[in-house]
Structures are given as structure tokens and as C-alpha cells.
Chains A and B, each alone.
Chain A
Amino acid sequence: MIEIQGLTKRFGKTVAVDQLSFEVTPGRVTGFLGPNGSGKSTTMRCMLALDRPDAGAALFDGRPYQTIKRPLFEVGALLDAGYVHPGRTARNHLRAIASSNGIGATRINEVLELVGLTEVAKRRVGGFSLGMRQRLGLASVLLGDPHTVILDEPANGLDPEGIRWMRDVLVHLASQGKTVLVSSHLLSEMALMADDLVLIGRGRLVETSSVESFVAKHARQWVRVQSPNVDLLRQPLVEFGAAITVVNDTTVEITGVGAATIGELAARHGVVLHELAPQQGSLEEAFLEVTANSQEYRTHSPFAPPQVS
């Protein structure tokens, strides 16, 4: 269980994290989301006592991180896979970390096997791809088999197979009852992996909920209708208060009315339907909707598709 209580961190006049409070529960993967510069990494550094917060606290099972004597057995954290000495071998990198907490060579071999780096354990980390470094970072997280795992952008640099592997690992850890907090910019991946979300913007908590309810609440919902005589439905739908967006001659997207109502209207007016499909926007769409006013750096992209009205 992680509890963040009124965490505040300032860099000069900039407030990077502002009175942030949330909880991360065991047995679930919690996604930590926010636009660039929203304070996710700073929050994680404050949680691990790497940055000194100006106010507030982060507690792991009721204790601040700096009071934990052998943290690798309780909290495994990977903030940046680049935090390695390029001249050191993968095994020696892990040995240096493990020995500080009294973890022996057997466990190092186990985690190397778990992340698939056994064959390259004697190679210098400087020659590793970013994906291999992410795997090495995860190995260091797993060294003490901790009950809490914190990862900052763990999928960076991983290929599709690696991303899927990382997802499976995190879901498996949560299924073992561990507390998993993970930040990522890959929202499609987060949608597949996370059970809960903590969303921040400009250092403040924007929303915390389950992924399901977050998407249901913020993403657009519509019904896609395909019919050879779709025009016959237009008038009855408008009378029901529906908004209609024409996709092509036979297809429309309808908001404001449910699929059941549309089906009944179609039957009543003798309209043949080829498709009647409720649709829901993605986590990405919901995220962009909620963080529209929290983006630190944004531009109007000339590459964005034109809005349909």
C-alpha cells in the first residue's frame, strides 16, 4: 500500500508537485498518468527520498522510504534504465545493488533468467540496447522480490514483444498481491495493463479512478449505424434528440441515443440495418479530454485530421 499525503515539491519558483494526495492499493496495477512536465517523475523521486519534498509525505505500508532498512525487499523501483555504468557488466551491476541489501549470487542468477539476460550477463552494459537496459532495470527491481513495485516509463525502448512481456510481468506481479505503480506514455498499453489510474496535471491531482470508469466518464460514446437507406432514419433520430455525423452515403455515427432505441426506430420505420454497433473512445481520447487544460507544452498540429461536425 502506497499513500501519498499532500506531497509538494518546488524547484525555485516552479511548483513541480502541488499538494498531491492519492493511494495505490495492492493487487492492482495502477497507472500514473499525466502530460509531459506534470510532475510524475518528480513525485516518484520524492516517494523514494531521492528528492526532498517541501511538504507532505509518501508512505509505504505506513513508513517513509528512508526509514526502510533493506528497501530492496520491500520496494523495487526503476526510475530510468539509463542509470547504469556503461563499463560494468550486467551481472556486476546487479551484484553491486544486491550486495548492498545482503542479496546473494543465487538470486542474481534467478532474476537474470527471469528477464532473459543470462546469456549477456557478462557483457558490458554500454553495449546494451535501451530494451535490454529496461530488462536489466526490471531485474534490479525484482532482486529482493519486493511487495511494492514502482516503474517510470518501463516500456520505453522495448519492441512489441518486449512491451507485451513487460505487461505480462506487471500484471503477474499484481496478481500475486503486490502493489504496482507504473507511469507510461503508451496509453494503449496502459489501457491493457492498468486496473486503476492516477492522473495528474501541473503537479496536481486531476482524477483517480478505475480505468473502466475513467474511460466511460470521459471518452466519447456513439453508435455506428450502416444501412442502404440510412436517410430514412435521420428525421426520427433528430426528433429523439440524437446528433448525427455522416461518415458516407450508407454510414452515420449517432450520439445522444442508445443502440436499442436506434434499433427500435429502424424497425418501426422499416429500415434495414447492416450494422448497429455501440462505440466507445479510447483511454487516449479520455486522457486528452481531461488533460486539455493541464498540458505544459502544446501546439496545434497541422497533421491532425479535421474535426467532423
Chain B
Amino acid sequence: MDLLRSEWIKLRTVRVTYVLTIIAAVFPLIIVVLVTALNSHVDEVSGSDLVTIITESMVLSALLFGVVSTLSITNEYGNGTIRTSFTASPNRRKVLIAKGAVALAFSMAITAIVMLVAFGAGSLILNGRGGSLSFNSDTNSALVGLVLLSGMLCLLGYGLGLIIRNSAASVTLLVLWPLLLENLARVVLAVAKVNNPTMWLPYQSALRMVSPRHFEEYNSSGFGAGIPLAIVVFVLIGVGIVVNERRDA
């Protein structure tokens, strides 16, 4: 508990956490408010459409929470404070798990809060303009999927930071992974005529968890699309912890 408290203090007492969290929170809210307020065919907007707007705009937020968690570990190495941390708590595994757990809880909690605010604001605006929204288990699953995706991207960034230990390199890889590397891999897999290439692309597979249509297709059992990314994340963190336990701090 002491370690969790310590890591929570570390996370919330640096400016970059606030800046990135504000961007991650405000950006999707602006998108949702603008789209719902300016849409000229309110009667055609469904609950599924609103959830899709929220989840797709919040994928960027989830990526930003990944950056926050990456910096929570790489900044410690950059500033040398990891030595202070390990001196105060020599059990490195506990320190690193506590740090990851705090970052995970933070990103999932903020994602859930922002998502609910965006959902409430979007519903209010659309209903106020004469729309009629209905939600079902598929839209609800997509919203839960968004929180899960946010947690996974947070841990992906943390795992990369644990292994690479350098802020610029870790953040670059975290951002390029979903935006560039998996798209390149998709092209390669397509050329190689691999069946169901998304199965081999952890991020793109996990992205299906935030789509209500995906849950319609899989009859609410579609969280399995996140399994490849979850495996990658846990392998990265496992390797990162082992490496950090063995390396000199």
C-alpha cells in the first residue's frame, strides 16, 4: 500500500501528467459536442453512432495515457530518480508492479470518467435536439472495450518504457506501433495472402473491442479481440521487470 501511495504521488506531482490528461480529456469532449451539436440529421443518429464517435475519438486519449505511463518510468531513468526509488524500496519487482498498477488504474479511471461525461453530453445534446437514442448490450460492451483498450495501451507504453528506458524512443515506438508499424505489417500480410491478418496485428485486433458493430457480429463475446494485445503487453512487462531486476539501476 505504501508503494502504491508513493507511486501515486510521483504520477500526480509532475506537470506532464496534467497536460496530457487534460488534452486526453478535452479532445474527445470537443469532438463529441461538435458532432452532436452540428449534425443536421439528428433523427438518423443512433445510440451506436454516438458510442462510435466517443470510442473512436477516445482512442487518441488512450494513446496519450500510454504516453503518460511510458514517461512515468522513462523519466525516472532519465532523471536518475529510479535510484532513489530503488534505494527506498530495494524490492524492484514490487516497485515496478506498483508503478504499472497506478498508471493502469489512473488511465482506466480517467478514460471511464471522460467517456461517461462525453456520453452524457452527447446524449443530452442529441435528445435536446429531438433525437431518439437507444442503447443495447453491444454499445455498452464497446464502452467497456474502450476502458480495456485504454488500460492495455497504458501498459503497452509502460512495458516499452521499462525495456527501452528512454523517453523519446519509447514514446516514438508507442505512437508508431499503431499508426504505422501495424499498417505496414498489414500490407505485408496481405501481399503474403495470410488469412485473417488482423489476428496477427495486436493493436488493430484490439481496436475492434471499441466498435459496437464488432460486438453485434460476435454476439457480445468479442472481448477476445483484445487477447493478442494483452499477451504482447504482459510479455513486454514481464520481460521489462526481469531485465530491470537484473540490470544495474
Contacts and interface: CB of A to CB of B under 8 A. Distances in A.
Asked if A and B are interacting partners, one says yes
B6 A88 contact: no
A83 B2 CA distance: 21
B2 A99 contact: yes
Nearest to B248: A51
Given A85-B79, A87-B14, A87-B16, A65 B84 contact: no
A52 interface: yes
Contact of A96 (B6, B86, B87): B6
Contacts of B90: 48-49, 65-68, 71
Interface residues of A, number: 32
Contacts of A45: 83, 248-249
Contact of A83 (B13, B16, B79, B91): B79
A96 B79 contact: no
A43 interface: no
A260 interface: no
Residue among B81, B83, B84, B91 with the highest chain A CB neighbour number at 10 A: B84
A50 B248 contact: yes
Nearest to A94: B9
Interface in A133-178: 140
B91 A66 contact: yes
Interface string A7-32: 00000000000000000000000000
A52 B80 contact: no
B75 interface: yes
B88 A100 contact: yes
Nearest to B80: A83
B80 A82 contact: yes
A97 B79 contact: no
Interface residues of B, number: 27
Contacts of B2: 99-102
A67 B16 CA distance: 34
B41 interface: no
Nearest to A140: B84
Given A83-B81, A85-B81, A88-B13, A49 B86 contact: yes
A72 B15 CA distance: 27
B88 A72 contact: yes
B79 to A, nearest CB: 5
Contact of B10 (A50, A72, A96): A96
B89 interface: yes
Given A50-B87, A68-B90, A140-B84, A92 B249 contact: no
Contacts of A97: 6, 84-85, 88
A27 B187 CA distance: 70
Interface string B78-104: 011101111111110001000000000
A86 B6 CA distance: 17
A286 interface: no
Contacts of A49: 86, 90
Nearest to A91: B13
A273 interface: no
A71 B88 contact: yes
Interface in A62-111: 65-68, 71-72, 77, 79-80, 82-89, 92, 95-97, 99-102
Pick the 7 closest A-B CB pairs, nearest first: A100-B6, A83-B80, A92-B13, A66-B90, A51-B248, A50-B249, A99-B6
21 contacts: A48-B87, A48-B90, A50-B249, A52-B246, A52-B248, A71-B88, A72-B88, A79-B83, A80-B83, A82-B79, A82-B80, A83-B80, A84-B84, A85-B79, A87-B15, A87-B16, A97-B85, A99-B5, A99-B6, A100-B88, A102-B2
